[in-house]
Structure 1
């Protein structure tokens, strides 16, 4: 019997150039797993992954202004999740489906909140796609709750509804 226990080599760090490739793959994989039924195959198949990657690269290289940041979660050397924040808002938080339920999302959310606080935010807002109960449970467990606001996004073949979640910081 070993007296030593293996510990996972996990971390969260600011995104660096090159992380955009993994981030795009994670975003597409996460959306397929979590939103396939709501968005539909036609929307997911039409995603412009080259443009998505270019947008993530730009967000990493030249954030659009103060209060914007991109963070990545790593398991060893591999990027397995990411979060993006803007002033007072959690813009995105995705974890590769096979790495979910491993604490990466919680570490990313904690780092995102720390960044928002450091930038002077007094609240955190996030939008949740209708029917995404896993994200609702995750955000609810972290202290966020729906505030009753909704928005409708036109995705092409169908419109989808998002609900705003909020917490004071």
Structure 2
């Protein structure tokens, strides 16, 4: 699912778009992750994770993810307002889930994270990122997308639900070093594009 072209969109007088992330975007991606987690996940993640955030290390990790992804099916997209990154999505092949039932629809692409800087919320950036991942999955003949969402993250549940996603009922628990974080698996099935006009 290697991205080959940007996904331009226009909204009012401001140009907005989604494109594959570049190495020079890594610092902004790390900043967006930090500010979004501190805003949206303050009650979900341990204070030492949020307050001890190493933005430089996070930027290095995101730079590696962009420049040297584990497989060609992994990628990072950024949402732009004019030329400034305001959100991002990271995706890749979904691995096997211990204890979970086989996935309807076969192999899946998993959205590992989709975040928009809270200052730029409600401008369609999240929807454009999600649509771009769907387009890439469809082009790669993947018909199933999934994401793990914290159970208490009602804002993300509303967002994915409004896009036609649904929870499957599968739950996993992540060790955060403090209170365990429970996540539920959400999914959607997409139709492949018809290659015949």
Q: Identify the TM-score tier after normalising by the shorter chain.
A: over 0.9
Show structure 2 runs of 5+ residues with no match.
Answer: 1-10, 94-108, 191-197
Out of 50, 63, 66, which is 2:69 matched to?
63
User: Corresponding residue for 2:103?
Assistant: none
Give the number of aligned pairs. 165
1:85 maps to: 91
Deviation at 1:92, TM superposition (A): 1.0
Q: TM-score, normalised by structure 1?
A: 0.93
Q: Distance in 2 between matches of 1:70 and 1:62?
A: 11
Question: What do the CA deviations read for 1:9-65 (whole angstroms, capped 9, x no partner)?
Answer: 111111111101000000011111111011132221133322221111011101110
Structure 1 gap segments, 5+ residues each: none
Note if 1:54 corresponds to 2:75: no
Between the aligned partners of 1:109 and 1:42, the Cα distance in structure 2 is 30
Structure 1 runs (4+) deviating above 4 angstroms are: none
> Given the superposition, is the C-alpha separation of residues 6 and 104 from structure 1 closer, same or farther in structure 2, using an over 3 Å criterion?
closer
Residue aligning to 1:115: 136
SS in 1 for 2:14: coil
Q: Are the equivalent residues in 2 in contact too, given 1:71–1:83 (CA < 8 A)?
A: yes
- The partner residue of 1:105 within 122, 126, 141 is 126
Tell me the residue number matched to 2:22: 16
Q: 8 Å contact 1:148–1:164 — kept in the other structure?
A: yes
Give distance in 1, aligned partners of 2:127 and 2:12. Answer: 21
